[in-house]
Amino acid sequence: MRPAVVVTGGAGFIGRNLVEALNQRGEANIYIVDSLGQGEKWRNLKGLAFEDIWEISDFRRRIGTDSLPEISTIFHLGACSATDEQDADFLLDNNFRTTREICEWSLRKGARFIYASSAATYGDGEHGYDDSDENTPRLSPMNMYGYSKHMFDLWALRHGLLKSIAGIKYFNVFGPGEDHKGPMRSVVSKAFSQITANGKVQLFRSHRPEYADGEQVRDFVYVRDAVAQTLYYHDNPSVSGLFNCGSGTASSWKRLALAVFAALGREPCLEFIDMPDAIRGKYQYHTLADTRKARSSGFTRPFLGLENAVRYYVQGFLAPNPKGSNGANPHAAEA
Mean per-residue pLDDT, 81-87? 75
Strand partners, 74: 6, 113
The whole-angstrom separation of Cα 169 and Cα 150 is 10
pLDDT tens per residue, range 87-137? 889 899 889 999 999 999 999 999 999 999 999 999 989 999 999 999 999
- pLDDT of residue 223 exceeding 60, the answer is yes
**pLDDT grade, residue 323 (50/70/90)?**
low
Could you confirm whether 145 is annotated as catalytic? yes
* Coil vs helix vs strand at 311: helix
Query: Do 10 and 50 contact (CB within 8 A), yes or no?
Result: yes
Local structure of 20: helix, strand or coil: helix
Q: How far apart are CA 330 and CA 324, in angstroms?
A: 6
Considering 31, 122, 145, 170, which one is annotated as catalytic?
Answer: 145
Q: Which residue in the list 181, 190, 200, 282 is annotated as catalytic?
A: 181
pLDDT in tens, 257-302: 999 999 999 999 999 999 998 888 878 899 999 999 999 999 999 9
* Residue at 216: amino acid letter: Q
- For β-strands 201-204 and 270-273, DSSP reports them as parallel
* 12 φ/ψ angles, rounded to the nearest 5 degrees: -85, -160
4-174+220-247+287-303 is a CATH 2.40.10.330 domain = no
Element (H, E) at 273: strand 270-273
Structural element, H or E, at residue 243:
strand 241-245
CA distances from 165 to 119, 185, 239 (A): 18, 28, 8
How many angstroms separate the CA atoms of 48 and 21, rounded?
10
DSSP symbols for 58-123: HHHHHHHTT----EEEEEE--S---TT---HHHHIIIIIIHHHHHHHHHHHHT-EEEEE--GGGGT
Q: Break the chain into its structural domains and give their ranges.
A: 4-174+220-247+287-303
Residue 82 reports pLDDT greater than 90: no
